[in-house]
Amino acid sequence: MNLFKQANQAFTRYLSWVVVGIAILSLSVPASFIWAAGYITYVLQFIMFTMGLTMKPSDFSEVVKKPWQVFIVVFAQYLLMPLSGFILSRGFKLSAEIALGLILVGCVPGGTSSNVIAYLSNGDLPLSISATSVSTLIAPLLTPVMLSLYGGAYLDISFAAMFMSIIQVVFLPVVLGLSLSYFLGEKTKKAETVLPTFSSMAVLIVLGATVAVNQENLLSTGLVIFLAVWLHNLSGYAISYFVCGLLNRDTASTRSIAIEVALQNTGLAASLGLAHFSPATALAAAAGTIVHTLFGTIYANLCRRKDRKERTLSAYANRTETVASL
């Protein structure tokens, strides 16, 4: 069991590099993941189910304790990130399908990896979990609404069809997992240590399949797509820090809010893009999985390094004061 825990910790620690490796493999050898393209919806349902299984009613306590902080996440996530995607699509003059994909990335809820990144960055973990849970549960309504608002300028979007897709792919699996967690109680706790790893592996399958079906598009327009997705990701951090600065949020809360806003559920975006539009619409989601995980890990490392530096300086200042008082 200890060996598995060590392997699980190593997998989490090097997840960003695993993501890059899977992307390179699926890009250079598409056949290694093209088989998974037809199973993306089922894989995503599994991811959402595992998310629900690790959730508890207490995860929503932050909504009661700090409702404004959860509101900040939902506001920035569903109103400002779609707008950012729309502005960048116009600025880069992206084709209709690729532009819609970038906007779609901005319209989906927080990603399943956001809680891990919030933990690694010494953020407010309860806030991160609550915000992810709330944004996921309201996705069936807000994702189609915001995509219709901004994406309707590019392609016709069926609100009803997308609403039902998100209900089937996100809402029902999460509610089922949450229900099992509630009624089975202690029996599900044993699985909580392994479920995040299985969920991450499932995300890698979605990434590999999405990259594989978009190999030609990525090779021809990859640099532009990655740049647009990276700027979109950075806008999430910038928006969050600006809003939190205005509202005088503490450091831990600001970090979690920034991560929740910047890291979208790219697996869901890829699934919706492939199901309702075309492989090109899932292109931004494929690039987003790589960018969000890689730069989220970098951000977490920078936060931890900053905290260590501050602790060192504080300890040095305390020793100096002690010596001076002698």
Q: Facing residues of 110 across strands?
A: 264
Q: What is the pLDDT of residues 117-128, one digit of tens each?
A: 888 888 888 888
Q: What is the pLDDT of residue 80?
A: 92
Q: What is the 3-state secondary structure (H, E, C) of 270-306?
A: HHHHHHHCCHHHHHHHHHHHHHHHHHHHHHHHHHHHH
Q: What is the pLDDT of residues 6-37, one digit of tens each?
A: 656 666 667 777 878 888 888 888 888 888 88
Which residues neighbour 141 within 8 Å (Cβ) at sequence distance 6 or greater? Answer: 163
**Token pair for residue 44?**
């995503």
Q: Which helix (H) or strand (E) holds 81?
A: helix 81-91
Regions of the chain with pLDDT less than 50: none
Q: What is the pLDDT of residue 107?
A: 93
Q: What is the pLDDT of residue 24?
A: 86
Single-letter amino acid code for the residue at 76: A
Cα separations in angstroms, 171 against 23, 87, 130, 133, 289: 28, 29, 15, 10, 21
Q: Facing residues of 264 across strands?
A: 110
Helices (H), 92-124: 96-107, 114-120
Q: What is the pLDDT of residue 99?
A: 92
**Token pair for residue 262?**
């910047």
Q: What is the pLDDT of residue 280?
A: 86
Does residue 121 contact residue 255 with C-beta atoms inside 8 Å? Answer: yes
Q: What is the pLDDT of residue 142?
A: 92
Q: What is the pLDDT of residues 137-164, one digit of tens each?
A: 899 999 999 998 888 777 778 888 888 9
Number of CB atoms found within 10 A of residue 188's CB: 17
What domains can you pick out in the chain, each with its CATH number? Answer: 19-325 (1.20.1530.20)
Does residue 255 contact residue 118 with C-beta atoms inside 8 Å? Answer: yes
Tally of residues, the chain: 326
